[in-house]
Structure 1
Amino acid sequence: MSLHLRHLRLRATTPDGVFGTDISFTPGLFILRADNTSGKSTCLQAIIYALGLEGMWGPKHDVPLPHAMTAKVSDGHSEHPVIESEVLLEIENGRGEVLTVKRPVKSITSLNLISTWNAPLLTVPGSSGAQTDYFVREKGAAVRGVGFHHMLARFIGWTLPSVARYAGGESPLYLECIFPMLFVEQRRGWTLAIRYPTHLGIREVGRHVVDFLLKLDVERIDAEKRRLRELERDLVTRWQKAAGEVGTAAGMIGAVVESLPTQPTTSWPPAALPTLVVHRNDTWVRVDDVIQADEELLQRLAAGPVPTVREDAPALAAKLKDLEDALAQLDAVASGAVEDVETETAELQSVRSRISSIDKELQRNRDALKLSKLGSVQALALSGHSCPTCQQAVSDDLLPQVLKHESMPLAENIAFLDEQRKLASLVAADSEAILRGKQRELTIIRERADALRSEIRAVRTTLTSNEQSPSVAAIEQRLRIEERVARYRRAIDEVSILIAGFEELVAEYKHLLSARAELPKEALSHRDQAKLGLWEQRFVEYCERFGLKSVEPRSLNISRETYRPVHEGFDLDFVRSEKPKEMELEFDFSASDTIRAVWAYLLGMMSVDHTFTTNYPRLLVFDEPRQQSTASESLGEFLKIAAQQAQGGRQVLVATSETLPDLEPMLKGVPHSLLSFEGRILKRVPS
């Protein structure tokens, strides 16, 4: 895993010509020197902008570059309005693949469109490569095939882990979260409390970043836990689907299955075996018992002759009236059941329609929010003249004109609609369960009614037949019983086959629980401890070499819970004014020592990559590292250690405004590359 900077090009077109600069980077320690306000920070910010990473500084979509690239550029004598501008960056990965990236800064095209070429267009003039366009700073940029950060992560060699979000669910560990540990920006980055972006809503983002960069086993273990949770969710879904198939098979004969677990279990067969039951004489009876009773009845009927019409007529006449009365009552019940099913179906359709409307309204609000973030001021008007939640008409004539705009902020409206959708989904789920129950009841009623009609037809046929003829009712009774027994046996066989499939699901569930039990109970493995121990060792060592004085460097360590520098249990960025007086620290950590600690902290992390396999991209950028009047001796030691850490194909980029007379003694004997600018970095480009 590596990301190396090869070349940066800035171009700003004005009516009076083109202004810009070209900077070729080299591996190892690379120092970009220029006076204050000359544009060196602009160059570093342009790198972040070219990679679409400005979200690491906050949720705003404003271009994070100064007016020289967006409004007016100066030649030292006069200012020239910028008509169009762009940033090009050439990068290389550990596989030797080169990518040229271009992103507009001021343009008629979208600033969230990034064009790439798989060729070194900047360092090898005349080279050519296939152009591919991607989008950035939009939803999906980290996961979709045409998302630039999805491509960039693969280019670096990263497989981004999924991490928990405050709002629930998971998301990738976005690149904007990772790069604050790799790029120290002058105005925002010089603090031990690494300023990770909070607007992305990732829980414990700092821990996840360190876990990933150092490739700690805890990150792998967390990923395995998430994988097992996903497998369990999938298994529950498959279990419930299988249970639904059993219910469908049982419903073909108007039966239900009792004692079938609705959730995965580790015991199979269960203590109470799943049983197929049907409704008979106002009670639920086991299908096996019904079959046994029917077969015994068939044996008794078969043991005697088929009665004639004359023999059966008296009993059949009385039976016909009872059957017709029973059918009339059952038809009345069926009519009520049909009405219940229709009512519940209409209710379910209404809820589903409401969910569909809410989904459309949610999408409309989300689109409007996205446009708003991109700078659009287009109003979001009510559409369809109806409320998406209750579906009631909204008449414009009854609303004062002032209500034509949003009554609440878009984000709050989206949250409200989300809650409405969740509530409607719960109502829909309940309605679906009720409807299934009523449909099952109606099926049972109709089957009983069909059986009664068949029996009535047979009785009537018998009563109108020749007195010496065999009783049709008696014959049909036997046939009906035989057919019912056959149907029940087929249903038992089908249900048995389906239930047998649960054994495989139980085996999977037991294996899943076993895999979960085998995961380490300790948060950090021995290898994790070794990596963190080396980081801590280097951190303390570098603090000593940089001349940290506020506390004894040997009293410092890196927390195994937060991975932040601590002294006697307190974070070094502890803010005294935020704590009661009795909790104040008994030491003053000077501003210059904070800078030294930042150097030690970040270079110490980079040093771990020399010894262990990590996900560290072998790139570290410092913008103006000499902050808070840090002593020149400390800066000189910083440059020596930075050069050491930049060995072996790594790259440390330092931008500084130190004068050459001050800088040259510090760099004596230190392997490095130095690019020094006099005056403004953005100059008129010869035509």
Structure 2
Amino acid sequence: MNLRLNRLLLHIVTNKGPYGVEIPFEDGLVVIRADNTSGKSTCIQSIIYALGLEKMLSPKKEVPLPPVMTSFFEDNGEEIYVLESDVFLEISNEKDETLTIKRAVKGELDTRLVSVWKGPALSNPMEKYQKQDFYVRDPGAATNNKGFHTYLASFLGWDLPMVRTYDGKEVPLYMECIFPLLIVEQKRGWSGIQSNMPTIYRIKEVEKRSIEFLAGLEAYETSIKKQKLMEEETNLKNEWKSQVSNCESLVAPINGIIHSLPVNPVTDWPPVVLPSIEVYRDEKPLPINRAIKEDKIHLSQLNEEEIPTVQQAAPCLIDELEKARNLLEEKEVSLRALFEEINVEKSQLQSITIRLSALEEDLRRNKDIQKIRKYGSEEDLVPTTDACPVCHQKIVDYILTEDSLEKPMSIDENIKFIESQKEIFTKMKENTSKVVNIKEKQLLSLKDEVNDIRSNIRALKQTLTSSERSPSISFLRERILLDQRIRLESSVLEQFELCTDKFYNLASYWKFILERKKLLPKDTLSKSDLNKIKRLENLFNEQLEAYGFSSFRKDIEISPDTYKPTLEGFNLTFDVSASDHIRTIWAYLNSLLELSREFETNHPGLLIFDEPRQQDASEISYYELLKRVSKSKEHNQQVIFATSENRELIERALQNIEHTYRNFEGKMIKKLAR
């Protein structure tokens, strides 16, 4: 993977004719020197703009280039007005394929349009090249065929990974998030490593993701796999719970209770103990198959009997009516008793919930005390006290003598005890909730039974007051109700079996998830990643020493969590001088460049620094930096410095260093020959 800048052209049409500047670039170290406010930063910003990366400079939609490219400038005291302006940039990749990019800054064309010629249209303008148009700064610019960053990524050989936003969406790792590790512009770039990172994309851990991609770490793919597996796991658990709810809804009309249906996913289906349904008969649970069988036998027996007339059945009906009234009374007593039992259980459940809440609060308070003691607090902090909060006298709330009392538990012992209590009460809550659920279903079944008895009493009364030759309504009703119950329970059983069949696929997929989970490495970083990070750390420390880093003498670590420089677990930039802070940016970004010489990475072999000698970094440090980055030519890489350093100083520093030097006297943007 390689990106090389060949040539930059800023072309401005004014009321006084064409103005602009053209800069050729070579491999290795390229130093562009010009005085302050002469246009060198404009050139660096124009490179960023030509590549469609201006969100590194500003989230605003306006072109983030100075007035010399957008409105007006002065030339020998005369105000010149900009009518049209364009940026041209010629680039090459590792296959020696060349593109020439044109992007309008001001004029009739929309600034989101990017025109690309397949060839060196700036270096060799006499040839004709195929031209294509693309767009940037619109949705799809990094994913659609006509998106410029889609095309540019393909040209560079980059396969941009998909990353997650804080909204849970998947988006590409946009180029604007990668190039802060390659281009440091003057205004905000030197405030920290990746300080030009755009935040408008709301990508989670965007700095970390960008370093992982550029360094070619496997950690990102591993973390993405783990994240996707976690999502699949969560989704399957939700599907499983939803299917369990569907099964429970099916048995609700018959007040059934489901047994042996796993509430959490399992890998084998069907389980050893098959899920089953129980229904209530005379307040006792009975397997639904057996209940249906007994109902069918009873119905068969009734159907074999002839339905008597009212006159024939009257003696039996009177006796049955009396029995029904007595049974109703018994059932209503049972109903009230069961209702009271449920209230007691619910009251107990509420007490357990309150107790759990109190334990949570006690646990939190004790852990807070444990934490501040761990941090070194010597304050006499206790979670509870036996002293009066007003007069501070000891309160005796026990009948044993003080000598017989054991020593109070320590904070650690308190925490352990509270956690054990919490575990006990959590189990109690689960068990009580199950008991309440079962008894509530039993209550519903009993209510249905009471309603049936009342209906039967009404039917018996109606029968007794009917014509003597009419068939007995109560005998008919019993057959009809029995038949309806058989049909309903049979239908529920059939649907339940279909419902549980769906657990086959869920269990199989759950097994597949667990198998893939087991194959993932326990640690996010692979052996290759650890080797890269260790080498990055060595390269970084080598350079710090060479550049005269002096804030402290200890070796700096590259964090395996953030991939940034740290000292004893803390961000390095918090404890260093301003000049050493600049040295850390030099060292870190150049270490990433050098890392690509030894390992397979996604680094394009390009580094651009605008005014690298910030915060009065010493001349010796600057010389060591120039000497170090000049080695880039040996590896077909390119490092571009734009500087306003004193001419004599920079030319003296560049002696005996392989480089290309471009010095501009006065303003860089000048009137062009027509």
Q: TM-score, normalised by structure 1?
A: 0.65
Where does residue 615 of structure 1 map in the other structure?
A: 602
Q: In terms of mean alpha carbon deviation, does 218-227 or 96-105 score higher?
A: 96-105
Where does residue 496 of structure 1 map in the other structure?
A: 497
Where does residue 128 of structure 1 map in the other structure?
A: 130
Shift of 1:655: 1.7
Shift of 1:254: 9.1
| AA in 2 matched with 1:681 | M
Distance 2:575 2:83 in 1: 46
Where does residue 365 of structure 1 map in the other structure?
A: none
Structure index of larger Rg: 2
Where does residue 595 of structure 1 map in the other structure?
A: 582
Give yes or no for the alignment of 1:70 onto 2:70.
yes
Shift of 1:298: 3.1
After the TM superposition, which residues 427-446 of structure 1 pair with which residues of structure 2 at under 5 Å, given as runs? none
Distance 1:176 1:53 in 2: 5
Distance 2:145 2:317 in 1: 76
> What secondary structure, in the 3-state scheme, does the structure 2 residue paired with 1:208 have?
helix
Shift of 1:44: 0.7
After the TM superposition, which residues 638-649 of structure 1 pair with which residues of structure 2 at under 5 Å, given as runs? 638-649=625-636
Where does residue 117 of structure 1 map in the other structure?
A: 116
Shift of 1:601: 2.0
Distance 1:244 1:26 in 2: 69
| AA in 1 matched with 2:594 | S
8 Å contact 1:193–1:573 — kept in the other structure?
no
Where does residue 532 of structure 1 map in the other structure?
A: 533
Change (3 A) 1:152 1:315: farther
Change (3 A) 1:256 1:653: farther
8 Å contact 2:133–2:146 — kept in the other structure?
no
Shift of 1:114: 3.2
> What secondary structure, in the 3-state scheme, does the structure 1 residue paired with 2:89 have?
strand
| AA in 2 matched with 1:679 | G
CA displacement, residues 557-589 of structure 1 (integer Å, 9 cap, x when unaligned):
43444433345666442258xxxxxxxxxxxx4
8 Å contact 2:609–2:640 — kept in the other structure?
yes
8 Å contact 2:98–2:120 — kept in the other structure?
no
8 Å contact 1:103–1:115 — kept in the other structure?
yes
8 Å contact 1:603–1:645 — kept in the other structure?
no
| AA in 2 matched with 1:232 | E
Change (3 A) 1:253 1:37: same
Distance 1:14 1:312 in 2: 115
> What secondary structure, in the 3-state scheme, does the structure 1 residue paired with 2:235 have?
helix
Where does residue 336 of structure 2 map in the other structure?
A: none
> What secondary structure, in the 3-state scheme, does the structure 1 residue paired with 2:499 have?
helix
Shift of 1:531: 0.9
Give yes or no for the alignment of 1:627 onto 2:614.
yes
Distance 2:88 2:257 in 1: 68
Change (3 A) 1:319 1:615: farther
Shift of 1:604: 1.4
Q: In terms of mean alpha carbon deviation, does 8-17 or 101-110 score higher?
A: 101-110
Shift of 1:129: 2.6
Identity of aligned residues (%): 35
> What secondary structure, in the 3-state scheme, does the structure 1 residue paired with 2:573 have?
coil
**Which among 666, 672, 677 is matched to residue 664 of structure 2?**
677
Distance 1:86 1:283 in 2: 88
Give yes or no for the alignment of 1:637 onto 2:624.
yes
8 Å contact 1:134–1:146 — kept in the other structure?
no
Where does residue 52 of structure 2 map in the other structure?
A: 52
After the TM superposition, which residues 216-365 of structure 1 pair with which residues of structure 2 at under 5 Å, given as runs? 216-240=217-241, 242-243=243-244, 246=247, 260-261=261-262, 263-265=264-266, 274-276=275-277, 287-301=288-302, 303-304=304-305
Distance 2:154 2:314 in 1: 87
8 Å contact 1:11–1:18 — kept in the other structure?
yes
Change (3 A) 1:494 1:92: farther
Distance 2:495 2:129 in 1: 67
| AA in 2 matched with 1:230 | E
CA displacement, residues 439-475 of structure 1 (integer Å, 9 cap, x when unaligned):
xx9xx99xx99xx9xx99xx99xx99998xx999979
8 Å contact 2:8–2:89 — kept in the other structure?
yes
> What secondary structure, in the 3-state scheme, does the structure 2 residue paired with 1:82 have?
strand
Distance 1:188 1:565 in 2: 20
Distance 1:252 1:23 in 2: 82
Distance 1:263 1:99 in 2: 57
Change (3 A) 1:258 1:566: closer
Shift of 1:258: 6.5
CA displacement, residues 339-384 of structure 1 (integer Å, 9 cap, x when unaligned):
xxxxxxxxxxxxxxxxxxxxxxxxxxxxxxxxxxxxxxxxxxxxxx
- Number of paired residues? 547
8 Å contact 2:247–2:499 — kept in the other structure?
yes
Distance 1:68 1:74 in 2: 8
Change (3 A) 1:70 1:255: farther
8 Å contact 1:39–1:680 — kept in the other structure?
yes
> What secondary structure, in the 3-state scheme, does the structure 2 residue paired with 1:130 have?
strand
After the TM superposition, which residues 132-211 of structure 1 pair with which residues of structure 2 at under 5 Å, given as runs? 132-136=134-138, 148-149=148-149, 152-156=152-156, 157-163=158-164, 165=166, 172-197=172-197, 199-200=199-200, 201-211=202-212
8 Å contact 2:134–2:147 — kept in the other structure?
no
Shift of 1:296: 1.6
Where does residue 574 of structure 2 map in the other structure?
A: 574
| AA in 1 matched with 2:497 | S
Change (3 A) 1:241 1:565: closer
Change (3 A) 1:605 1:294: same
> What secondary structure, in the 3-state scheme, does the structure 1 residue paired with 2:55 have?
helix
| AA in 1 matched with 2:668 | I
CA displacement, residues 148-206 of structure 1 (integer Å, 9 cap, x when unaligned):
545544554132342463x7777654433322221111232234554153744455443
Give yes or no for the alignment of 1:3 onto 2:3.
yes
8 Å contact 1:72–1:82 — kept in the other structure?
yes
Change (3 A) 1:36 1:298: same
Shift of 1:99: 4.7
Distance 2:486 2:25 in 1: 85
Q: TM-score, normalised by structure 2?
A: 0.66
| AA in 1 matched with 2:116 | W
Change (3 A) 1:567 1:258: closer
Shift of 1:213: 1.9
Distance 1:526 1:656 in 2: 40
Distance 1:228 1:177 in 2: 26
CA RMSD of aligned residues (A): 4.8
| AA in 1 matched with 2:227 | R
> What secondary structure, in the 3-state scheme, does the structure 2 residue paired with 1:574 have?
helix
8 Å contact 1:214–1:614 — kept in the other structure?
yes
| AA in 2 matched with 1:74 | E
Question: Structure 2 stretches of 5 or more lacking a match?
Answer: 325-443
8 Å contact 1:114–1:135 — kept in the other structure?
no
Change (3 A) 1:537 1:296: same
Distance 2:38 2:222 in 1: 48
CA displacement, residues 216-261 of structure 1 (integer Å, 9 cap, x when unaligned):
2332322122111221233234335544664676689897867645
Distance 1:259 1:144 in 2: 51
Q: In terms of mean alpha carbon deviation, does 238-247 or 74-83 score higher?
A: 238-247
CA displacement, residues 93-152 of structure 1 (integer Å, 9 cap, x when unaligned):
4455555444433346654x232436237345421233233434x6x6556666554554
Change (3 A) 1:493 1:623: same
Where does residue 370 of structure 2 map in the other structure?
A: none
CA displacement, residues 462-496 of structure 1 (integer Å, 9 cap, x when unaligned):
x99998xx999979976886686466445434432
Change (3 A) 1:479 1:195: same
After the TM superposition, which residues 421-570 of structure 1 pair with which residues of structure 2 at under 5 Å, given as runs? 485=486, 488-489=489-490, 491-546=492-547, 548=548, 550=550, 555-566=555-566
